[in-house]
Amino acid sequence: MRLMEKGLTSAIAANRFGLGARPGELAAIGGAGPDWLRAQLEGPAPQIGGDGLQSSAGILTRIYDLRRTLRAERMRAGRRGAAGPRSAGASGAAVGAFKKLPQLIRPIYLAEAGARFRQSVSTQRPFVERLTQFWSNHFAVSVDKGVLAALAGSYERETIRPYVLGNFTDMLLATQRHPAMLLYLDNQLSMGPDSRAARNIERRNPGRRPGINENLARETMELHTVSVDGGYTQADVTAFAQVLTGWSIAGPRDSRRGAQPGTFLFRAAMHQPGTQVVMGRRYPDTGYDQGVAVLRDFARHPATARFIATKLARHFIADDPPAQAVDRMAAAFSQSGGDLPTVYRALIDSPQAWDRPVSKLKTPWDFIVSAFRGLELPVSTDKAPVGLFQLLGQRIWCPGSPAGWPDGSADWDGASELLKRIEWSDAVGQRIGPGRDARELAPRLLGNVLSTATREGIAHAGSAAQAITLLLAAPEFMRR
Partner 1 sequence: MKRREFLTAGALAAAGGALLGSQVTFAGMARGKKPRFVFVILRGALDGLEAVPAVGDPGYAGLRGELAIGRPGTSGGALPLDGLFGLHPSLSFMHRSYTARELTVFHAVASPYRSRSHFDGQNVLETGHPQPHAVETGWLNRALAALPGALAPEAERGISIAPTAPLVMRGPAAVTSWSPSRLAPLDDDTLQRIADLYSRDPVLGQKLAEAIADQGSPGSLLATRGKPEAQYVEVARAAARFLRQADGPQVAVFDTTGWDTHFNEGNAKGQLAVRLSALDTALGALKDGLGPVWSDTAVLLATEFGRTVAQNGTRGTDHGTATAAYLLGGAVRGGRVMTDWPGLSPRALYQDRDLRPTLDLRAVMKGVLAEHLGVPERALESPVFPDSRDARAVRGLLRA
Positions touching partner 1 (CB under 8 A) are 186, 189-191, 193, 198, 208-215, 218, 222, 228, 234, 237, 320, 361, 391, 393, 400-401, 403, 409-420, 422-424, 426-427, 451, 453-454, 457, 461-462, 466, 469-470, 473-475, 478
Burial level of 196, CB count in 10 A (0-12/13-18/19+)? middle
At its nearest, how many Å lie between partner 1 and the CB of residue 54? 26
At its nearest, how many Å lie between partner 1 and the CB of residue 469? 6
At its nearest, how many Å lie between partner 1 and the CB of residue 7? 21
**CB closer to partner 1 out of 157 and 218:** 218
At its nearest, how many Å lie between partner 1 and the CB of residue 238? 9
**CB closer to partner 1 out of 15 and 190:** 190
**CB closer to partner 1 out of 185 and 348:** 185
At its nearest, how many Å lie between partner 1 and the CB of residue 368? 13
**CB closer to partner 1 out of 58 and 146:** 146
**CB closer to partner 1 out of 10 and 227:** 227
**CB closer to partner 1 out of 211 and 443:** 211
At its nearest, how many Å lie between partner 1 and the CB of residue 458? 9
**CB closer to partner 1 out of 275 and 401:** 401
The pairing of strands 276-278 and 281-283 is antiparallel
**CB closer to partner 1 out of 51 and 229:** 229
Give CA–CA dist 433/430, Å, rounded: 5
**CB closer to partner 1 out of 391 and 432:** 391
At its nearest, how many Å lie between partner 1 and the CB of residue 208? 8
Q: Could you count the other beta carbons within 10 Å of the beta carbon of residue 479?
A: 18
At its nearest, how many Å lie between partner 1 and the CB of residue 479? 8
At its nearest, how many Å lie between partner 1 and the CB of residue 215? 5
